[in-house]
């Protein structure tokens, strides 16, 4: 059955033995039939969420030369800043700028070569943003714990042992975070301004998207090929989740549109998305 709305799950129900069975059944339905879902009552502190949003906005408000000090191309880890219009999805420009961060991991010997992807992080100049690094290190720590908990719930929802995914991860595993800004459409240099990021399926196990209200644009594609709006907050099961469960769980294509709204909804679209991924 093709979906027309995104299910909302209350994570607090999974933390009580009385309500956990019903939660797991709802999670199973969302995984098999939709591929996107909302979670609420995550346990992440509201004050921390507020600081994450404000520090993210402050980073994108820095002068361009300050952001370019930590360009992704400076290091082999693919962590750092990517400027507006620097990425392409489905053969079209993604109109977004972003900074990628990761779980702090000690320096590696960089052999095998994929260890290059583990570190280092690049942080904004603390003289410009003194609270940025401590805020995001705290957020990554709390979201890491949440993602590990939720991965176990996915296993149980699919009638697998709760440790079923553990062999796929290092003990000191990497979690990644992407902070994204989609700019006002009027400020873009191209006539093709509709794509924030094109239709895609990612390779991580799960992603947790913290969107900044009231901005919209995130969509998921149902089995009929129609795009369904996904206002904040969404967890997105990734493509690898499907392969690791014998292709039983579904993953919906996702995209982000750059949409200019008319009053009274929104005059300028300036949305940020904080995407946390379990690699």
Sketch the domain layout of the chain as residue ranges.
8-278
Relative to beta strand 38-40, strand 218-221 is: unpaired
Taking domain 8-278, whether its CATH number is 2.60.120.330 is answered by yes
Query: In terms of Cα–Cα distance, which of 5, 3, 67, 1 is closest to 38?
Result: 5
pLDDT at 259: 36
Instruction: Give residue for tokens 């960089």.
Output: 110
Per the CB < 8 A criterion, the answer to whether 149 and 41 are in contact is: no
Per the CB < 8 A criterion, the answer to whether 187 and 268 are in contact is: no
Average pLDDT per consecutive 10 residues, the chain (279 residues; last block may be shorter): 85 97 96 89 92 93 96 92 77 80 76 80 96 95 92 95 90 87 68 64 79 75 85 52 44 48 24 49
Output the CA torsion 124→126→129→132 (10° steps): 70
SS3 per-residue string spanning 176-189: EEEEEEECCHHHCC
pLDDT at 233: 56
Taking CA atoms, 207 is separated from 48, 97, 263, in Å, by: 19, 19, 32
Residue 178 sits at the vertex; the CA angle it makes with 77 and 3, to the nearest 5 degrees, is: 130
Per the CB < 8 A criterion, the answer to whether 258 and 40 are in contact is: no
Please report which helix (H) or strand (E) contains residue 135, including its range: helix 132-157
């Amino acid at each position: 059955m093709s979906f027309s709305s995104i299910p909302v799950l209350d994570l607090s129900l999974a933390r009580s033995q009385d309500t956990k069975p019903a939660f797991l059944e709802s999670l199973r339905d969302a995984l098999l039939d939709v591929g996107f879902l909302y979670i609420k009552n995550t346990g992440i502190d509201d004050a921390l969420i507020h600081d994450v949003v404000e520090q993210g906005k402050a980073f994108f408000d820095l002068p361009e030369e300050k952001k370019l000090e930590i360009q992704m191309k400076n290091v082999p880890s693919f962590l750092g800043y990517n400027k507006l219009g620097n990425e392409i999805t489905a053969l079209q420009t993604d109109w977004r700028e972003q900074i990628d961060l990761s779980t702090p991991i000690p320096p590696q010997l960089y052999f095998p070569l994929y260890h290059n992807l583990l570190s280092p992080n690049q942080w904004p100049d603390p003289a410009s943003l003194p609270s940025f690094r401590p805020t995001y290190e705290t957020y990554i720590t709390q979201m890491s714990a949440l993602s590990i908990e939720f991965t176990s719930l996915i296993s149980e929802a699919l009638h697998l042992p709760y440790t079923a995914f553990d062999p796929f991860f290092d003990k000191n595993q990497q979690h990644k975070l992407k902070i994204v800004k989609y700019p006002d459409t009027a400020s873009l240099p191209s006539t093709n301004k509709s794509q924030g990021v094109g239709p895609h399926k990612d390779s991580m196990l799960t992603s947790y998207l913290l969107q900044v209200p009231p901005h919209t644009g995130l969509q998921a594609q149902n089995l009929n090929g129609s795009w369904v709006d996904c206002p904040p907050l969404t967890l997105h099961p990734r493509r690898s989740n499907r392969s690791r469960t014998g292709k039983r769980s579904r993953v919906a294509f996702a995209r982000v549109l750059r949409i200019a709204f008319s009053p009274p909804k929104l005059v300028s679209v300036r949305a940020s998305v904080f995407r946390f991924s379990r690699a």
